[in-house]
Amino acid sequence: MTDTPLKLGTRASPLALAQAHLVRDALLKAHGWSESRIEIVAMTASGDRILDRPLAEVGGKALWTKELDRALFEGDIDFAVHSMKDVETLRPPELAIVAMLPRADVRDRLIGASSISALPQGARVGTSSPRRSAQLRRLRPDLNIVLFRGNVSTRLAKLEAGEADATLLAAAGLDRLGQQDVGVAISEDEMLPAPAQGAVGIETLGNNARVRALLDPINHADTFACVMAERAFLATLSADCHSPVAAQARLVEGALHIRGEILTEDGAMREHGASDNPATLAQALLDRAPPRLRAIFG
């Protein structure tokens, strides 16, 4: 490797920067490099600027990735770090997700009450996630969902200001920001997580063999296999950021096991199941789904 530092691209939010530092530290350790070998290049994503509307109305998950994609294509960065939950299912063919860090806690945390059942009748719950909204409405049809957009601190500030009675945030993000004591973890059996939740991925140009080789030592193979299975589940569903969908894959003695569910926006209809094949599971859920639920996908 030359003395020219590798440029690591990231969103500029506090959580994204924390994740970028995790990737940088893993690379430094794997290769025995000094800190000067990696330069973190932070940029503000469109999704961090537009906070007054649901993501699905203003461009979807691409709002988290398009600035980093452009920087990769223009050679301004060598690789980009993403929260895999925020990466759209279909990516530009010139790019490749090549590594992931070990997955963190996949669960959601509820802030503002001790459990979903403990929320007061008609409580206002702040979220912008179609999945969380649908799952909450299925469990508690009386709840009122209010739009919460912004980074972790913004959403917690909105909660503190009384804009909602409670909110849900990813446990992994809270942990990475040093807020391990915030909120109460919700069982995966009560609320199945978003596909790829808790995973940090690294993307580069598919033909950049040098960078791919440098990233390979920090790839956590089990996390990579499970997250890519969850993304394959999404792809078979043709799910997008409008779609209330959840999935979690695990490797049990080397064998893949994936659970998944699809819901209508109001939570009134739900299909769920498990399989050893993500595409088979997705197709089975679609085949069983009533027309109103099936129409959300594809």
What is the per-residue pLDDT for 44? Answer: 80
Helix (H) or strand (E) holding 65: helix 62-73
CA distances 10 to 13, 22, 40, 79, 265, Å, are 9, 12, 7, 9, 31
Residue 161 exposed, middle or buried by CB count within 10 Å (0-12, 13-18, 19+) = exposed
Helix, strand or coil, per DSSP, at residue 261: strand
Torsion of CA 86, 91, 95, 99, to 10 degrees: 40
Residues 223-267: pLDDT tens digits? Answer: 999 999 999 999 999 988 789 999 999 999 999 999 999 999 999
For 229-268, b/e burial (b = at least 16 CB within 10 A) is bbbbbbebbebbbebbbbbbbeeeeeeeebbbbbbbbebe
Q: What is the DSSP letter of 35?
A: G
CA atoms within 13 A on the CB side of 171: 18
Backbone angles phi, psi at 50, to 5 degrees: -100, 105
What is the per-residue pLDDT for 1? Answer: 46
Q: Taking the CB of residue 1, how many other CB atoms lie within 10 A of it?
A: 10
Q: What is the DSSP letter of 192?
A: P
- Greater confidence (47 vs 123) lies with 123
pTM, two decimal places: 0.92
Decide if pLDDT at 298 tops 80: no
Residues 180-230: pLDDT tens digits? Answer: 999 999 999 999 999 999 999 999 999 999 999 999 999 999 999 999 999
Residues 12-47: pLDDT tens digits? Answer: 999 999 999 999 999 999 999 999 999 999 998 655
Spatial separation of the C-alpha atoms in residues 241 and 65, rounded to whole Å: 14
What is the per-residue pLDDT for 60? Answer: 45
The model's confidence at residue 63, banded by pLDDT at 50, 70 and 90, is low
What is the per-residue pLDDT for 175? Answer: 96
Enumerate the H helices of 104-220 as residue ranges.
130-139, 152-160, 171-176, 209-215
Catalytic residues: 86
What is the per-residue pLDDT for 54? Answer: 53
